[in-house]
């Protein structure tokens, strides 16, 4: 594996306090040649974080510090590691304009980016952060009227994220496309969503985007598989979608975790952000 392209930092409110430099040193120690910092971009200003601790992303007033700390490390370690600085940007249906404003502002400073769905709006208009906890997931399922409408809303939102107009700095890689299965051992997939998943991959291919091959799910006690699972990685590979590995690490020691499981796949570097 050449690198880890989905990594968080001390700026994330729900992660560890490990400094960005600790992640860099871990990456070098593990023999990686590339590292993408993809901190959670701040949520749109007029959107209230639905997570019970309101800790889903980084603080808006830390963005400049995050970027400058990243750029300094980029220079300092340029002989040892290619460091990309970017964001994991939330796609929230109905907040496209605000999301584009963020990307238009910070896009010129980003080397890499991931577009992810974590937030879904229930029919009663309440938003839920679907990967927050098993309990929150249960509350979301109740608000949606069951697991099937919740899963359906997730795949609808993912498809909308691929098609969304978010300007010239829209991230070109779609994050953990089966995150809805994070608690699957407690809340099993109610029906087969292969059709939606296949369609999603075909849309990703059509747009020329890449796929976040995310190992974090392997270590979640109620998931125990990669996002997406092997069968879908195989289909993405068959379609020729760039497969870009990421640990989604929120601690320095998590860099490259689970990458052994991906050794059968050709891993690719992220596409340039601005294409
Ligand atoms: Zn996170
Ligand atoms: Zn994510």
Cα(30) to centroid(ligand 1), Å: 22
**Domain assignments of the chain as residue spans, ordered by start:** 3-262
pLDDT at 45 over 70: yes
pLDDT at 265 over 90: no
pLDDT digits (tens, 9 = 90+) for 207-233: 999 999 999 999 999 999 999 999 999
Cα(58) to centroid(ligand 1), Å: 9
Cα(16) to centroid(ligand 1), Å: 10
For the stretch 13-17, contacts whose Cβ atoms lie closer than 8 Å and that sit 24 or more positions apart, written own/partner, are 13/53, 13/55, 13/56, 13/57, 13/58, 13/59, 14/51, 14/53, 14/55, 14/56, 14/250, 15/250, 15/251, 16/250, 16/251, 16/252
Cα(56) to centroid(ligand 2), Å: 9
Q: What is the pLDDT of residue 56?
A: 97
- Please name which ligand lies nearest the alpha carbon of 6: 2
Q: What is the pLDDT of residue 264?
A: 86
211: β partners? 174, 243
Cα(198) to centroid(ligand 1), Å: 26
pLDDT band at 263 (very low <50, low <70, confident <90, very high): confident
- Please name which ligand lies nearest the alpha carbon of 56: 1
CATH homologous superfamily of 3-262 equals Metal-dependent hydrolases (3.20.20.140)
Cα(237) to centroid(ligand 1), Å: 26
pLDDT at 139 over 80: yes
């Amino acid at each position: 594996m050449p690198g880890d392209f989905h990594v968080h930092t001390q700026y994330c409110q729900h992660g560890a306090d490990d400094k960005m430099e600790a992640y860099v040193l871990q990456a070098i120690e593990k023999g990686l040649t590339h590292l993408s910092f993809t901190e959670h971009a701040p949520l749109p200003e007029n959107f209230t974080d639905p997570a019970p601790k309101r800790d889903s992303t980084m603080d808006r007033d830390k963005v400049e510090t995050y970027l400058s700390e990243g750029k300094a490390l980029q220079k300092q370690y340029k002989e040892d590691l290619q460091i990309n600085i970017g964001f994991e940007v939330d796609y929230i249906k109905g907040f496209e304009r605000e999301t584009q404003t963020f990307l238009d502002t910070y896009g010129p400073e980003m080397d890499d980016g991931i577009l992810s769905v974590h937030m879904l709006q229930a029919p009663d208009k309440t938003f839920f952060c679907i990967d927050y906890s098993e309990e929150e997931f249960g509350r979301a399922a109740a608000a949606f009227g069951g697991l099937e409408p919740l899963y359906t809303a997730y795949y609808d939102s993912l498809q909308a994220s691929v098609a969304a107009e978010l300007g010239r700095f829209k991230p070109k890689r779609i994050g953990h496309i089966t995150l809805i299965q994070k608690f699957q051992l407690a809340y099993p997939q109610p029906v087969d969503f292969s059709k939606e998943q296949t369609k999603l991959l075909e849309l990703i291919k059509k747009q020329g985007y890449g796929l976040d091959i995310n190992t974090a799910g392997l270590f979640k006690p109620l998931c125990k598989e990669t996002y997406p699972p092997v069968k879908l990685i195989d289909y993405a590979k068959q379609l020729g979608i760039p497969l870009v590995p990421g640990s989604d690490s929120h601690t320095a020691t998590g860099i490259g975790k689970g990458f052994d499981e991906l050794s059968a796949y050709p891993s690719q570097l992220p596409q340039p952000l601005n294409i």
